[in-house]
Amino acid sequence: MDSGGPVRSSPYLRLAAYYAVLGAAVWLLITLFPTLPGLLDHFREISVLGMAAARRGRDLEQVVGAGAPALSQGEWALVTLLSMLTALLLVLPVAWVYMVTKRRSGYDQSVVQTVIILPMTVAGTVILVQNSLALAFALAAIVAAVRFRNTLKDTKDAVYIFLALAVGVAAGVFAPTVAAVMSVVFNAVVLTLWQFNVGNIYADRLGGDRAARLEPHLAASDDKKKRFNGALLIHAARLEPARRVAEALLDERAKRWKLAEVVPTDGGTSTLEYLVRLKDEAVVATLVDTLKAQGAPDIVAAEFRSLRGLKREGKD
């Protein structure tokens, strides 16, 4: 687990810092090479998208075959390099988000490598075929002849592949703004879903009752330094194995903790209700994921609730 302050422990801050540094690097590059934007604008003008916008309504063959000022070989090499580099830099945080949210549950190294490599390949391919309709069809025929038998472990992994393809296409037609927006929004949404455990079928439905049960334990601790600020709820198929895993992790990642209640639930499971105060560097989502990974199959689900939220539910 990472330590060393909120910037190192928060995935949101890490992503924000990465995109800020990337934006500063792009600004510096444009400042040092002021002719670069003109070259890229010229490339967009002679690309399929540029000609289609300028000649809307014409036949596709006319669009891709329209005469336009050609780039030199050196300029083509530079444009290709920048497109592939753009794809790489915008997909690296996507691969990192995959590694963070997967951890030990459903992690597939080949998906990480594919997400990184695929956009660069797509970007280069788009540059190669976009002004040649015949070459595009030939490449499509070659790809169709290749049979891919790799089966993804998780259906969500396919979403990462589609995102990688989209970033690669955007970089290939040199629409970096589109690629950047896709990268930022995708990462933000995935991290939010992971952080709040959206879709958990064991979502707490007894907030008011739970707040009332925990109130005596909270009132017993008047010392501010010893107060708890969260409730860790662990839904367990087998009580004792789940308890051992949970308490071993809490010893590592919490300043203090207390088992407040063990509540039987429907279906033969039980819910362990812990009052906790996590260490400053501890990440809630990482704790929950680790509990589910290390406690499976005894731990069916886990969730972390703020005590303030539980108290508000109890008043509603």
Instruction: Report pLDDT for 33.
Output: 86
Give the pTM: 0.58
Name the residue type at position 289.
D
Higher pLDDT, 302 or 44: 302
Q: Any idea what DSSP says for residue 267? A: G
Query: Is the separation of the CB atoms in 251 and 298 below 8 Å?
Result: no
Mean pLDDT value of segment 289-316: 77
Render pLDDT for 55-74 as a digit per residue (tens, 0 to 9).
444 443 444 444 445 667 77
User: What CATH class has 207-315?
Assistant: alpha beta
Q: How do strand 299-306 and strand 230-236 relate by DSSP bridges? A: antiparallel
Q: Any idea what DSSP says for residue 268? A: G
Name the residue type at position 24.
A
Render pLDDT for 133-189 as a digit per residue (tens, 0 to 9).
666 666 666 566 555 556 666 678 889 999 999 999 899 888 889 999 999 999 999
Instruction: Report pLDDT for 178.
Output: 93
The residue written with tokens 């003109």 in the block is 38
Instruction: Report pLDDT for 15.
Output: 94
46 confidence band (pLDDT: 50, 70, 90): low
The residue written with tokens 């952080």 in the block is 195
How far is the C-alpha of 79 from the C-alpha of 130, rounded, in Å? 14
Give one word for 228, left, alpha or beta, with left for phi > 0 and alpha for psi -120 to 50. Answer: beta
CA dist 18 to 103, 123, 134, 281, Å?
Answer: 20, 22, 40, 20
What are 65's strand-pairing partners? none
Cis peptide upstream of residue 297 (ω within 30 degrees of 0): yes
Instruction: Report pLDDT for 193.
Output: 86
- Asked if residue 103 has pLDDT above 70, the reply is no
- Asked if residue 117 has pLDDT above 70, the reply is yes
Least confident range from 118-127, 200-209, 274-283: namely 200-209
Instruction: Report pLDDT for 65.
Output: 45
How far is the C-alpha of 99 from the C-alpha of 226, rounded, in Å? 35
Give the DSSP H/E element, type plus range, for residue 57: none
Mean pLDDT value of segment 37-50: 66
Instruction: Report pLDDT for 100.
Output: 85
Q: Mean pLDDT for the chain?
A: 77
Mean pLDDT value of segment 98-127: 84
Higher pLDDT, 298 or 91: 91
Give the DSSP H/E element, type plus range, for residue 256: strand 254-264
Least confident range from 25-34, 134-143, 261-270, 291-300: namely 134-143
Query: Is the separation of the CB atoms in 239 and 262 below 8 Å?
Result: yes
Instruction: Report pLDDT for 280.
Output: 85
Q: Where in the chain is the domain with CATH 3.30.70.260?
A: 207-315
Q: Using N-to-C axis directions, what is the helix angle for 207-219 and 307-315, rounded to 10°?
A: 120
Instruction: Report pLDDT for 158.
Output: 87
5 confidence band (pLDDT: 50, 70, 90): very low
The residue written with tokens 């930022």 in the block is 184
Mean pLDDT value of segment 278-290: 87
Nearest-10 Cα torsion for 53, 58, 61, 67: -60
